[in-house]
Amino acid sequence: MSDGRDPAVSAGAPDRESVAPPPSFVAQANVTDPDIYREFDEEWPECWRRAADRLTWTSQYDSVLSTADGIDWFPGGELNASYNCVDRHVEAGRKNHAAIKWEGKLGETRTYTYQDLYREVNAFAAALREMGVEEDDVVTLYMPVLPELVVAMLACARIGAVHSVVFAGFSADALATRMENAGSALLITCDGYYRRGTAVDLKSKADNACLSVSQDVDQVVVDRLEGPSYPGDHRSYEDCIDAHDGEVVEPVARESGDLLFYIYTSGTTGEPTEVRHTTGGYLSHVAWTSHAVFDLEPSDTHWCTADVGWITGHSYVVYGPLAIGATTVLFEGTPDPPGKDRFWEVIERNAVDVFYTAPTSIRAFMKWGEEVPARHDLSSLRLLGSVGESIDATAWEWYHEHIGGGECPIVDTWWQTETGGVMLSTLPGVDEMRPGSVGRPLPGIDAEVVDEFGEEAPTGESGQLVVTKPWPGMPVALREGTDWARTARGDPDDEHWAYSTGDGAVADEDGYVTLLGRLDDVVNVSGRRLGTTEIESAIIGVEGIAEAAVVGGEDDLKGTTIHAYVSPAANVAGTDDLRQQVRAAVEDAIGPVAVPEEITFTSALPKTRSGKILRRYLEAIANGEQPEDTSSLRNPEVVGELESLVDE
Ligand code: WTA
């Protein structure tokens, strides 16, 4: 293991300069002792006490980890997430400290102190109770990044209800599938939002979704748009708050393993994958990583640009920063429009200390030019973060230089919806950074790169990234299905327990991991995770379409774009009208984010002799590359057709 301090230690990554954390950062950092890796290793799983003890428990846990029946983190412990994110900061005398600084799409701003948040969360929790919401009921939340979304999440947590936030860019169908799956009978939504200055209706999508699920669904509607409130048979959020203003709802003690939320992500099947996170393990994991990786203190203003609808928003817009007692910036907009200065204005106005965004945004900033951020005072920044896809060395350097002024460490954080919180990264006050590589597994996390047989891949050779020990933020499905006790005894006949991440990776000789992209049918478009099978199912649903294959094509800005190869049924022509129907079908089934950038009609899809679609071949075509050996194709006649399409 490297001691993390010596910039000369760049073995294993000869083509990359290593960058040491600046001494000014180290001098104030939360974690600075390189021994933390060894200590966590030697003390595992007891080491995770350090995470759990960042929280306030109403009943102390009996032990850190129990493997008697599945995997239980902090068994016997009880706590409430809303208490941890709100009340305890008020009780500690920081009621007038800003909890949320909201930056609206039209340039509006709103600040919620911890006291404001306390009052509104309590009022909404009382309203939820009055509506009959009980412990473990699932409440669906469907709205853009508004303070009311955070209030609703925390109000659910307060009464022990489970929230399921659905990204507002998803379609009515996608919302309905998720509500149906979770059996959710209450939807908190809003009338609409603004896009490029015009109002976009969200309520009718919510209505359509409610009509198509089998259960009866009540709605609470936040009034986001200017003008008269939306008519219809629902409660208004504002009325709920007015009716219960000043009421106090005792936070419900939840067992550590009780659910905090559902979140749906894309997997390898045609259906969205349900991921369930728990109260004690998840919250410990995100509070600890907010402290150790994002170096957050209550005095900090943290801005994570992710939409709250994705896991990054759950963990590092809402739960992590609020558990710490910091100020979190809630940003409703996009980098542009209006203007290309929006991000830098937000940083300057709010004196943001820690800024966390995705490489796709950084590539857009690079394109717009360094003079844009140079017009702003970004000197409040202390630490930068990146997530969602690999950040290449050029974008890394640009981010470091033009946003961080060469003075801010960058944490490139690898994690997933399933992991709940960051798993691989550098510790910014300890480790040197290697642009393009995320770093090592965090202290207490065991992960390695394995070959196709599950054996650790030799240094420098690519394989799949797997996590080899349980971690606090692990999802319920992994806890339940695991006989960790058996594998932990180390019986040589047993297979080792491992969670396969689906990501290709390579490790250098210091254990720094570089991610190589997904190995399965998942694509990351602008840092958003989509399943190709889900998109294909939507396309095949269009009348006159026989088959479809969706692959990711490389894109300078978005990282990946979606290419669809579509084969119409016999006697059906690949017309522009059909193309339009394909786009509309994907937009209806999933949402605009999933609509293919390129749709190519072809008489047949390239298949292996066993009938499997050769995606690697299509990927090469999508990227304008010469496909490798095509001798395994069952239908080599499509080769010429597809390649000629590329040349057009
Ligand atoms: C990818 C987002 C490279 C990876 C938190 C992973 C990354 C998927 C990084 C999870 C990174 C995330 N470098 N790739 N720093 N972070 N990924 O579930 O493919 O939306 O499996 O969670 O994003 O996406 P998800």
Residue type, 144: P
What is the C-alpha end-to-end distance of the chain, expressed in Å? 52
259 lines ligand 1 (CB under 6 A): no
The answer to whether residue 400 scores a pLDDT higher than 90 is: yes
| DSSP per position, 591-615 | -GGGS-SEEEE-SS--BBTTS-B-H
279 lines ligand 1 (CB under 6 A): no
Q: Which long-range contacts (CB under 8 A, 24 or more apart) does 623-630 make?
A: 623/553, 623/554, 630/606
Gap from CA of 515 to ligand 1 centroid (Å): 9
DSSP state, 271?
S
In the predicted model, what is the mean pLDDT of residues 276-288? 98
Q: What pLDDT sits at residue 7?
A: 34
Q: What pLDDT sits at residue 617?
A: 85
Range(s) of the chain covered by CATH 3.40.50.980: 115-252
In the predicted model, what is the mean pLDDT of residues 585-607? 92
The CATH class for the domain spanning 115-252 reads: alpha beta
The answer to whether residue 525 scores a pLDDT higher than 60 is: yes
The Cα 276–Cα 285 span in angstroms is 15
Gap from CA of 517 to ligand 1 centroid (Å): 9
Gap from CA of 358 to ligand 1 centroid (Å): 10
Percent of the chain with pLDDT over 70: 94
Q: What pLDDT sits at residue 26?
A: 98
Percent of the chain with pLDDT over 90: 76
Quick: pLDDT tens for 79-118: 999 999 999 999 999 999 999 999 999 999 999 999 999 9
Q: What pLDDT sits at residue 11?
A: 38
Q: What pLDDT sits at residue 14?
A: 42
Residue 641 confidence class, pLDDT cut points 50, 70, 90:
confident
Does a cis peptide bond (omega within 30 degrees of 0) precede residue 45?
yes
Q: What pLDDT sits at residue 648?
A: 46
In 205-258 the beta strands, taken as DSSP E runs, fall at 218-222, 235-236, 254-255
Range(s) of the chain covered by CATH 3.30.300.30: 522-647
Q: What pLDDT sits at residue 3?
A: 39
Quick: pLDDT tens for 422-481: 999 999 999 999 999 999 999 999 999 999 888 899 999 999 999 999 999 999 998 886
The answer to whether residue 381 scores a pLDDT higher than 50 is: yes
The answer to whether residue 492 scores a pLDDT higher than 90 is: no
In 151-300 the beta strands, taken as DSSP E runs, fall at 162-165, 186-190, 192-195, 198-201, 218-222, 235-236, 254-255, 259-265, 273-278
The per-residue pLDDT of the chain, averaged, comes to 91
Q: What pLDDT sits at residue 128?
A: 98
The answer to whether residue 290 scores a pLDDT higher than 60 is: yes
Gap from CA of 183 to ligand 1 centroid (Å): 28
Nearest CA to ligand 1 atom 24: 416
Torsion region of 362: left, alpha or beta (phi above 0 gives left; psi -120 to 50 gives alpha): alpha
Q: What pLDDT sits at residue 635?
A: 82
Residue 197 confidence class, pLDDT cut points 50, 70, 90:
confident
Q: What pLDDT sits at residue 12?
A: 40
Q: What pLDDT sits at residue 2?
A: 37
Name the residue of 265, 515, 516 whose CB sits within 8 Å of the most ligand 1 atoms, as the mutation to test its pocket: 515
231 burial via Cβ count (<10 Å: 0-12, 13-18, 19+) = exposed
Q: What pLDDT sits at residue 489?
A: 53
The answer to whether residue 171 scores a pLDDT higher than 70 is: yes
574 lines ligand 1 (CB under 6 A): no
In the predicted model, what is the mean pLDDT of residues 596-622? 85
438 lines ligand 1 (CB under 6 A): yes
According to DSSP, the β-strands at 65-66 and 72-73 are antiparallel
Residue 627 confidence class, pLDDT cut points 50, 70, 90:
confident
- Of residues 55 and 632, the one with the higher pLDDT is 55
How is domain 522-647 classified at the CATH fold level?
A: GMP Synthetase; Chain A, domain 3 (3.30.300)
